[in-house]
Amino acid sequence: MPVPGQAWRLARRSVNLAGAPCIMGVLNITPDSFSDGGSFLEIDRAVDRAVQMEGEGADIIDIGGESSRPFAEPLPEADELSRVIPVIEQLVHRLSVPISIDTYKSGVARAALASGAEIVNDISAMTFDPGMASVVAKYEAGVVLMHTRGRPTEMQTDTAYNDIVAELLSYFTDALGRAEMAGISRDRVVLDPGIGFGKDIHGNLEILRRLREFAVLDLPLLAGTSRKRFIGTVLDRGVQERLFGTAATVAAAVLNGAAVVRVHDVSQMRDVAVMAQAIRDGYTPPHNA
């Protein structure tokens, strides 16, 4: 469960994770992301969407220039930079909420942080690029450390686990050790169990059921379930028909202790997350109510 008084320290501010769940809005500047690929490739459309998500209640905007969907091919760093940096450079003057860069490349992270991003969301927990940890430490950025098994081209070829939570706990213990050695303090770290990354449908559902067990690490958890394939499999729904299935997974994640939820449908999932948090923790009226 979120720790009372807990704050996530970023490059230039802190985000309070003790109250309502933090909503991370997804902005994919890619032609091939599984859900919204091609929708925001133009700079103006991407900027407008980020501003719209802030207006809908996003607490963080997570910008990615390379698809990490299963079997996606890697993108050259120069191409990724050309997609994300112009958008970040505009948004730092338009947004009041922090920007996250969704990348596993240290060069992209460095440029994004220098341009005004405050969080690195790394699907590899800083393992794909050995230079990532030093970049995060240098800029004193917040960081999301996610669990996966291999790169997107291979991660779905091995999805069997003897005990999925035990394996993830071991993985995160190692990741936290690397972060500490690089000089990244624990109050800058959020953990993501990587739903949909190197897991089959049963593993994804088991993680949601057992999310409370990650509380032994005493760090905030991020849940990224939005529109993912396992929802479509359970419901027999296409990508654009998974709103209610996503809502169920967001509610389950928050009820089981997630402090951050990463979503495409910001306004709808904010309602879901806030309601689930009220069920979990009780309702406190606003001070001006």
User: What residues are annotated to the active site?
Assistant: 228, 262
DSSP string over 42-111: SHHHHHHHHHHHHHHT-SEEEEESS--STTPPP--HHHHHHHHHHHHHHHTTT-SS-EEEE-S-HHHHHH
Instruction: Tell me the one-letter amino acid at 227.
Output: R
Bridge partners (DSSP) of residue 14 are 9
Rounded to an integer, what distance in angstroms lies between the CA atom of residue 162 and that of residue 249?
Answer: 23
What is the β-pairing status of strands 189-192 and 222-223?
unpaired
Candidates 129, 167, 130, 126; CA nearest to 143 is 126
Q: How many CA atoms lie within 13 A of 163 on its CB side?
A: 7
Rounded (5°) CA angle 240-245-247: 105
Other beta carbons less than 10 A from residue 107's beta carbon:
16
Q: Which residues of the chain form beta strands (DSSP E)?
A: 7-9, 14-16, 22-28, 60-64, 99-102, 119-122, 142-146, 189-192, 222-223, 260-263
Q: From CA 259, how far away is CA 22, in angstroms rounded? A: 6
CB neighbourhood size of 238 (10 A) = 9
**Whole-angstrom Cα distance, residue 102 to residue 68?**
10
